[in-house]
Each structure stands twice: as C-alpha cells, then as structure tokens.
Structure 1
Amino acid sequence: MPRIVIQNLFNREIYSKAVPRKVIEIIHENGIDWMHACGKKGRCTTCKIIVLEGEENLSPLTEAEQKFAEQGRLKKQERLSCQAELGSGELIVRVAEINKFPHLEYSH
C-alpha cells in the first residue's frame, strides 16, 4: 500500500488503497487541506510538493511540469501534486513555504 509522509505536518502518514493515484487526491482523501488554485489542472504551481525521498515511485514529469521546470517555477526536487501519480512505495514530502495555509499548524 503506497504511503506518503508529510514531513512538515508533524510527519503525518497517509495511505491509499487505489494505485496509481495523483498525490493530491491521496492527500485530500486523507482529510488534509492542500492548496490547488487552478482546480488541479496543472495550470499553476500552488499544489507543489517538495520531494525528499521516493521520487522513483512517482510517474514521469508531465508536459505541464516540464513547462514549469523550464520556466524556473519548479525546482528539480519539486513536483505538482495534481500531476504526479504515486504507484507504489513510499514518498516523503514537504509543503513549500509559499504554499502553506494560515489555518494549519506546521512543524519544521
């Protein structure tokens, strides 16, 4: 069963029984608020995740992610959670500083 650990949300562990699934869907299904200004369509970068471990368990970069990477809006370790699919294994991520919600408490 795929597992995501969100490091700066107090190492919160979340799971998904269905695979492959977009990372943002797994996050939302587990009751976690996650920013997505464009409605999960890959048109902005507000849903980005910082991947610390498990990049190999994600789908390849999508066309939208490649475009943002070429523009310098996605760094090498960042992915769009609305585009990246987790097939199996573990993924350890962080919420980007710029994408944090004011109503949530984050850890370091």
Structure 2
Amino acid sequence: MPQIVIENLFNLRINSSSVHRKVIEIIHENGIDWMHACGKKGRCTTCKIIVKSGSENLSPPTKPELDFLKLGRLKTDERLSCQAELTSGELVVRVGELNKFPHVAYSK
C-alpha cells in the first residue's frame, strides 16, 4: 500500500489505497493543508515537497518540474506535489520553510 510520511508534520503517515495519484491529491484528501498558489497546475513552486526518501516511488519529473529545475527554482531533491504521482511504496517528504502555512504546527 502506498504511503506518504511527512517528517516535519510529526512524522504523519498517510496511507493511500490507490496508486498513480498526485501527491497533493492524497495529502488534501486526508485533510492536510498544503500550499498550491496556482491551483495545482504546475505553474509555481509553492506545492513543492522535499523528498527525503522514496523518490523511486514517484513518476518521472514532468516538463514543468524540469523547467523549474533548469531555472534553479527546484533542487534535485524537490518535486512539485501537484505533478508527482505516487506509484508505489513509501515516500518520505518535508515541507519547505518558504512553503509552510502560519496556522499549521510543524515539528523539526
């Protein structure tokens, strides 16, 4: 069963019963606020995730992600949660400092 672990949300574990779903969809369906200024269209980087492990369980980077990588707006260990699909296994991520909401309590 695919699973997302968000380290700096107190190691919150989210199980998904389906595969090939966008990471942000899985997060939102579980009642977790996650920034997405462009409406989940891959036009900004506000929904980015910092991938700590499990990158092999994600779909290949999309054109918008590759473009942002070339522009230096994404690092090699970052993906857009609105573009990356969870294909299997466990994915461990963090919320970036610039992408944190002020109303959400985060852990270290």
Normalised to the residue count of structure 2, the TM-score between the two structures is 0.99
Runs of 4+ off more than 4 Å: none
Kindly indicate whether residue 33 of structure 2 is the aligned counterpart of residue 50 of structure 1. Answer: no
- Give the aligned partner of residue 82 of structure 1: 82
Deviation at 1:18, TM superposition (A): 1.5
Offset from partner CA, 1:65-90 (integer Å, 9 cap, x none): 00000000000000000000001100
Please give the per-residue CA displacement for 1:20-67, whole angstroms capped at 9, x wherever unaligned.
100000000111000000000000000000000000000000000000
How many residue pairs end up in the alignment? 108
The residue number in structure 1 matching 2:60 is 60
1:25 aligned to 2:25? yes
* Distance (whole Å) between structure 2 residues aligned to residue 83 and residue 48 of structure 1: 9
Report the CA distance between 1:95 and its aligned residue: 0.1
Deviation at 1:16, TM superposition (A): 1.1
Q: CA deviation at 1:15?
A: 1.3
CA distance in 2 between partners of 1:17 and 1:43 (Å): 28
- Alignment RMSD (CA, Å): 0.4
Say if 2:49 is the partner of 1:71: no
Counting aligned pairs with the same residue, the percent is 74
Once residues 16 and 22 of structure 1 are traced to their aligned partners in structure 2, the CA distance between those partners, rounded to angstroms, is 11
- Rounded to whole Å, the distance in 1 between the matches of 2:6 and 2:34 is 11
- Flag structure 1 segments of 5+ consecutive residues without an equivalent: none
Q: Give the match for residue 7 of structure 1.
A: 7
Return the alpha-carbon distance in structure 2 between the equivalents of residues 95 and 54 of structure 1: 15
- Tell me the amino acid that sits aligned with residue 98 of structure 1: L
Output the TM-score relative to the length of structure 1.
0.99
